[in-house]
Chains A and B, each alone.
Chain A
Amino acid sequence: SAVISQKPSRDICQRGTSLTIQCQVDSQVTMMFWYRQQPGQSLTLIATANQGSEATYESGFVIDKFPISRPNLTFSTLTVSNMSPEDSSIYLCSVVGATPVYGYTFGSGTRLTVV
């Protein structure tokens, strides 16, 4: 299965600033996803990162707040913009193998605290 390097692992940010999270995969993958996990909660899909086109966002998430880049099949970034304390969460990227039958791999996560 793919190996994902996610950076940074954690950060403490001032409100109103932005943070960019990076995910690097050791192999080419078609599907890459970004999730948010609020404290004590389950994972919620933010968007699907598409190579060569705009990301597809889930209801409640917008591009201006969470811009995503996917310049190639091994790399993606998620930016959390104009942060507020409500954005304090763990953010995770995930990829799937050639097909879903190979399972999904998750990055190590970015623990974001906004003060």
Chain B
Amino acid sequence: AQSVAQPEDQVNVAEGNPLTVKCTYSVSGNPYLFWYVQYPNRGLQFLLKYITGDNLVKGSYGFEAEFNKSQTSFHLKKPSALVSDSALYFCAVRDATSGTYKYIFGTGTRLKVLA
């Protein structure tokens, strides 16, 4: 069965420190992986995706994520957090070999960057 887990409901980090938001997944075949961010009272915004190729993916606003097939993880990272990064972050996965549309979103991780 296809699934995605975001094990932390909330992550707190001091401004200027590196941040990591964790995501692990389970699919039968090859995964397509996405990160989205949601600011209060707004829709989700795309940050980055892994489809194939280089395991380190760079995205918007200085974020990056590393695809680790052996650990089935796709953690979101940023070298230096900003207060404006405070938001709700969602990981999503699709089984690329399933042949059908089935994107699964995680339950979200709230990132709080403290000044």
Instruction: Tell me if chain B binds chain A.
Output: no
